[in-house]
Amino acid sequence: MSKLSSLETALNKFERAISVLEGAGARVRKQLSENAAVASEFHATREDRSRLADELDRAKAKLSDLDQINSKAVRQLNAAMAVVSRIVNQEEGGR
């Protein structure tokens, strides 16, 4: 094999190696880009989860307040009904 032929063979091998290296670099860049997209999506999901947890906490607090208001209203209605019942009974007894 002549020196020129050996040099051409070595150059061809080198060009193939560079091509393989460029392909690997492209795959790494693509994977990094995909990882960044996944990380961004994960971050957005965590923010959504946090926001939803806060909304749920506020809704639970509001429900608790409404339960207390409802209980108070029931007590007041029961007391009012008892007063009305006594008055009606007194009216009927007085006739």
pLDDT digits (tens, 9 = 90+) for 8-63: 999 999 999 999 999 999 999 999 999 999 999 999 999 999 999 999 999 999 99
Q: For the whole model, what pTM was predicted?
A: 0.56
Q: What is the DSSP letter of 94?
A: T
Provide the b/e sequence for 3-32 (b: ≥16 CB within 10 Å): eeeeeeeeeeeeeeeeeeeeeeeeeeeeee
Residue 76 has pLDDT above 80, yes or no: yes
Q: Which residues contact 1 (CB under 8 A, 6 or more apart)?
A: 9
The owner of tokens 């007085």 is 94
